[in-house]
Chains A and B, each alone.
Chain A
Amino acid sequence: MDALREARVKTFVDAFRFIADNPHLLLVKTAEHLELSGAALGIALLLALPVGLWLGHLHRGLFLAASISNVGRALPSLVLIAFGLTIFGIGFWNNTVALVVLAIPPVLTNAYFAVDAVDRDVVDAARGMGMTELQVLRRVELPLALPLVFAGIRIAAIFVIATATIAAIAGGGGLGAIIVNRASYGDAGVLAASLCVSALAFLAALILSLVRRAASRRPVPVP
């Protein structure tokens, strides 16, 4: 029993030693990971945010938003990566497309429901003061919806970073490339990369949480 525990502790010690010994390798892989994740998240935001916000503004497309969210959740990341690989072959695009597809549902549905839920009286008042539809969305609905919109972006970011790890199976590079290659990097390397990618995901989630909190902080009137 003690021997087993010792072996376990040793694996973790080795992992930290691996991190200390190979900072350059891990940095390069982390950069690759961020590049892939960032590109996919960026494309997803460009595609999904305008659609979600505008549909929410119109209070239309509830069925679409709900279906996208349901189907999106039912699409396993591994299956998407594998499908992408069979359709596009190995490379940057197969994984990017898979990650974008994965990131769109939480961004789109959260944007939709966030704007849709904004108090109609407030929107009415804004319209009554002579704002155009775009002004209503930009100056009234968006600021009020922002916390929920960021919550969606945060979930998408968590999904994308996690799936970018799996994308290494399909030649995606990044920290996942170390995790799926135990033959080259050994137990210590695999564990080290796992810890690094976990820290990366946690940091990204933390930063987006802080942004979200900043977005929801607004002056509270004194009662």
Chain B
Amino acid sequence: MPGQAAELVFDEATKQYEGRDEAAVDHLSLTVRAGEICVLVGPSGGGKTTALRLVNRLIPLTSGDIRIDGTSILDQDVVRLRRGIGYVIQQVGLFPHMTVEANIGTVPRLYGRPRAWIRTRSAELLELVGLDSSYAKRYPAQLSGGERQRVGLARALAGNPPLMLMDEPFGAIDPIVRARLQDAFLALQKEVRKTVVFVTHDIDEAIKVGDRIAIFRRGGRLAQYDTPQAILERPADEFVAEFVGADRALKALALHTLAELDLGAPAGGPPCPRTSTVRDALALMLQMDAQKLAVTDERGVVVGSVTREQLLS
């Protein structure tokens, strides 16, 4: 089965549907480095989902090329190609006639793995996505929306693919559960280090999960491809600035945690864990009407302090 993480290159990749004036994806060139999360974001009709589906050839390329670790997707057997790419979609698409365990075992079974191996692997993956082993024998109809998406994620990881494609995976889930799933996904990514292409229409989600963000404009053209920080600080043009939002300075605060700051000596004030983002710390400060926060470590011990001026600088 495939290995760790792959480099993904779009090289002038184009999708032009017959009878349409505008291309769905227009000469897209970008490189996703191995082990990075690349978020494709943009308005609907921007071609981000099309770009994603070009990779596993659910939509055929019109021209250009896409290479995974240097090998063109066109030079591989389509079925073999897809088995080596994890695929997660918004509607999850769990097979309703299979148990959770069988769903997770889908791709290993295609590879002809023995039953016992699949059972062990399912249990591992369930744990990895934060579900206990009692879920193995349930059917999808018995799961909540958030649980289903966790199983969907586990299923996509089961073949240990070097590349994952995720099409608005948390789009249909309510905000509280979505935040929890994003956190779980980021923690998971720290462990498995896959190359991930992640489609969303939510710029906040893009900033939160992306190592790099590709912003699409209508007509499937790439407007900017850069780190969240760079996009927030130096939007390439009017379109990007508007798409990112007038509060981009505020959003940029979400990119840093208190741990990255030079903390002052331990002092009084409302406690705040150092893993919080600067944005959350500021929100807490405003809410409590405080000038100072007591920064705590994982065990709740106060390790320093931070002032309002420090946060805003």
Instruction: Judge A-B direct contact (beta carbons within 8 Å).
Output: no
